[in-house]
Amino acid sequence: MNMPDNYRSKLRANNDSEHPFAQYVRILGKGKTGSRSLTQAEAYTAMQMILSGEVEDIQLGAFLMLLRVKEESHEELTGFVLAARHNIQAPIDSVNVQLDWSSYAGKKKQLPWYLLSCFALADHGISIYMHGAGGHTPGRLYTENVLRELGVTMTENWHAVEQQLGENNFAFMPLEFMCPELKRIINLRSYLGLRSPVHTLSRLLNPLGAPYSLQSIFHPSYGDSHQQTAIALGQQNAAVFKGEGGEIERRPEATCTVKLVTDGIASEEFWPKMIQGRQPQPESLDVQDLIRVWRDEKEDRYAIDAIIGTLAIALRLLKKADHQQQAMSMALQYWQHRNMNRL
């Protein structure tokens, strides 16, 4: 990202002139006693400058890593998300969708079984908008690559999103088409060696204003930030949990704490293990196994449990079930009555 010409000319004229973005780096990095978090308004303005190309890469790198060390507050995340939404300018009034599903982590140990959960929901009339970014961490299998192998059409604009939702109740748009600058920042991971707050704020974007939002996290400590940010953004119904590999996928062999926002009120639910003992990791990940499991051509207990467990959490969020047992029963029904011809 290059510095705009007007800033360059000012600096040439006066070497003592400070770049307008420097104040935000200083707020975060002024030492143990002098530094503080950004206010929501400051975070909004800082992200607006970043997305508008008014920030040098050296400033951006310092800013992102200072946030990473400190860990972003929910006020900062709220400001960042609002600025990103302003930049994206999605057609909220013309494209209707029920569930926003973010996918930014990629899978390493297991196939993305959550995709089959999405398709089962879509087969039962739940419209899902999924967005994500791939390629930023080596050795991971990303949603957009898997969808291509499955023959699922991806979208590059909002008209295509509307069309796919109408035809299939499912649409996926890579972040590079939704917000190119955020994708560029995510790709800085290979230079910085660490994920940045952009990985978090992207999960919270919900650009189409879906009434229900699902997110996943790598570290449980981020659950509270997601939950509080959702409330601050006016998201009435949201759920976030630590999923397999950081994706929205329940791990059958682990307990699961789901941070919920229901009608604007925060709560949490504890979901017990579905199976006992650690399951063996597959030697390789064959995307075609997703099709085989979908068509009942392959038996895989772990996969079925992951699919149904993920479905159950989504159904609780969507208020289709009053309690976990009902959600699990309904999830099984959704799975058993899926459209085998989808894949």
User: SS3 letters for 71-85?
Assistant: CCCHHHHHHHHHHHH
Q: Is residue 93 part of a domain?
A: no
Torsional sign, CA 317, 322, 324, 327: negative
Q: Is residue 256 part of a domain?
A: yes
Do residues 37 and 134 both lie within one domain?
no
CATH number reported for the structural domain that contains residue 16 in this entry: 1.20.970
Do residues 247 and 295 both lie within one domain?
yes
Q: Does 5 score more than 70 pLDDT? A: no
* Amino acid 197: pLDDT: 85
Give all strands (DSSP E) within the chain, no chain letters.
99-103, 128-132, 170-174, 212-217, 237-242, 256-262, 265-271
Q: Is residue 79 part of a domain?
A: no
Q: Is residue 212 part of a domain?
A: yes
Do residues 54 and 202 both lie within one domain?
no
**Which residue, of 31, 49, 70, is where some domain finishes?**
70
CATH number reported for the structural domain that contains residue 177 in this entry: 3.40.1030.10
Q: Is residue 83 part of a domain?
A: no
**Closest-CA residue to 163 (of 97, 86, 87):** 97
Do residues 239 and 324 both lie within one domain?
yes
DSSP letter assigned to residue 107: B
Q: How many domains does the chain have?
A: 2
Dist. CA 157–CA 147, nearest whole Å = 17
Do residues 128 and 196 both lie within one domain?
yes
Q: Is residue 250 part of a domain?
A: yes
* Amino acid 12: pLDDT: 44
Mean per-residue pLDDT of the chain: 92
**Is 98 or 3 the better-scoring residue by pLDDT?**
98
> Among residues of the chain, what percentage have pLDDT more than 90?
82
Using pLDDT thresholds of 50, 70 and 90, give the confidence band for residue 2: low
Q: Is residue 87 part of a domain?
A: no
Do residues 105 and 61 both lie within one domain?
no
Cβ atoms of residues 181 and 138 within 8 Å: no
* Amino acid 138: pLDDT: 74
**Is 154 or 9 the better-scoring residue by pLDDT?**
154
Do residues 11 and 62 both lie within one domain?
yes
Could you list the residue range(s) of the whole structural domain that residue 32 is in?
5-70
> Among residues of the chain, what percentage have pLDDT more than 70?
95
Dist. CA 26–CA 335, nearest whole Å = 52
**Closest-CA residue to 77 (of 87, 67, 86):** 67
Please state whether the predicted TM-score (pTM) of the whole model is above 0.75: yes
Give mean pLDDT, residues 65-75: 92
* Amino acid 1: pLDDT: 45
Q: Is residue 277 part of a domain?
A: yes
**Which residue, of 70, 86, 116, is where some domain finishes?**
70
Do residues 187 and 308 both lie within one domain?
yes
